[in-house]
Amino acid sequence: MTDRFDPATLDDGGLGSRSVKVLCDGQHQSGAFIASPNFASYRYAWLRDGAFCARALDVVGEHARAGQFHRWVERTVLRHSDRAESVIEALTAGRVPDAEEMLPTRYDLEGRLERPGEVEDEPWPNFQLDGYGTWLHELETHHRRTGNESFDAGAVDLVARYLAAGWQTKCYDCWEEFGDGHHASTLAAIAAGLSSAARLLGNRAFERESERVRTLLLTEFVRNGYLRKGRTDDRVDASLLWTTLPFGVLDVDHPTMGATAVAVRSQLQSAFGGIYRYRGDTYFGGGEWVLLTCWLAWYDARTGNRSGYEQARRWVIASVDAAGDLPEQTTTHAQDPTMVDPWVRRWGPVATPLLWSHAMYLIASEAAASWN
């Protein structure tokens, strides 16, 4: 078990302590984390966002709360086991189910399926695989950190079999925008999740499947020495950092990972220090994302780049809103300023607080704490 990281020791105007409060306040009694309490379209629970929120709470010693999230995921996936088994059976027989038949990327806070039209008047993609791989990986991380060996093996096995059967299926990327191919950060999450399931269950078949995913990622998603966003998309995406942290598909000092981090910094970091998702982003104008800036800070902390970490840290602290919260993104230096207002009229102001942003701030801060 690692020592508890105390965010009150940070010289950040109380942002660390505030981040813990935002995460705790945003956890439903079921154990789920709401993505953002003040943004109607984000009133759901994503496995991906929630897994990183749980990781952040583990970082600060809130292990019971982190465990409550993992128990919620276990109950939720088992609640929808018939759907999962149907998908596995279809894929095994060579039939690719429609996206609506797959397990969703988001649930309501009680673990129920979203009702059609509940989020907005137009369809919003709800089929992704990265969240399930992320959860498996973070479940193992939680148990390794806490020394708690209790988990629902049936839930782990079900999710791992679902991923093993479906990882070659075209799903939406982690941003729920591109659904016409395969995506590097999604494959990294799946590879990591399958490896974690293999260790948790002692099932080497899942490790062999993980290696197949990793091999595809490294043979078909690397161009000019660094990872690219998609199998047919040569752009750099900041989510490519996930390949090393936390998923460990590539070590932080692997040449391909180093080149990918350089590409993220050179192509996606604004002149002001924030990180864009990818070039050409128009969601709320395609602004600088807090959680992704924290991700680069995490990478810099792990690789000993103090100046890079401090630059990102200063930018994040400067992004705190009037209530003391971290938003999803800032739009002051948006890539396409003409697209800010249309999104505000459609969904309201940028989501704040975004629990995932606060979680990543804590995770990055802990990674740098060893310098002190």
User: Is 328 a catalytic site residue?
Assistant: yes
Question: Pick the catalytic residue: 74, 138, 281, 328?
Answer: 328
Would you state the pLDDT for residue 124?
81
Closest CA to 294 of 238, 335, 252, 251: 238
The pTM of this model reads 0.96
CB atoms within 10 A of CB 94: 6
What is the C-alpha separation between 237 and 227, in angstroms, rounded? 9
What is the C-alpha separation between 192 and 134, in angstroms, rounded? 7
Chain-centre distance of CA 98, in angstroms?
24
Token pair of 187 as six digits: 């494959």
What is the C-alpha separation between 236 and 265, in angstroms, rounded? 10
Are the C-beta atoms of 213 and 247 separated by less than 8 Å?
Answer: no
- Could you tell me the domains of the chain? 7-269 (1.50.10.10)
Closest CA to 357 of 309, 323, 319, 331: 319
Question: Pick the catalytic residue: 176, 207, 220, 310?
Answer: 176
User: Is 173 a catalytic site residue?
Assistant: yes
Chain-centre distance of CA 121, in angstroms?
26
Q: Which tens digits make up the pLDDT trace of 208-234?
A: 999 999 999 999 999 999 999 998 899
User: Is 176 a catalytic site residue?
Assistant: yes
Question: Pick the catalytic residue: 58, 173, 209, 325?
Answer: 173
The letter for the amino acid at 36 is S
What is the C-alpha separation between 53 and 141, in angstroms, rounded? 13
On the question of a cis peptide bond just before residue 246, with omega within 30 degrees of 0, the verdict is yes
Would you state the pLDDT for residue 1?
43
Q: List, for the chain, all residue ranges whose pLDDT scores fall below the cut of 70.
A: 1-2, 116-123, 372
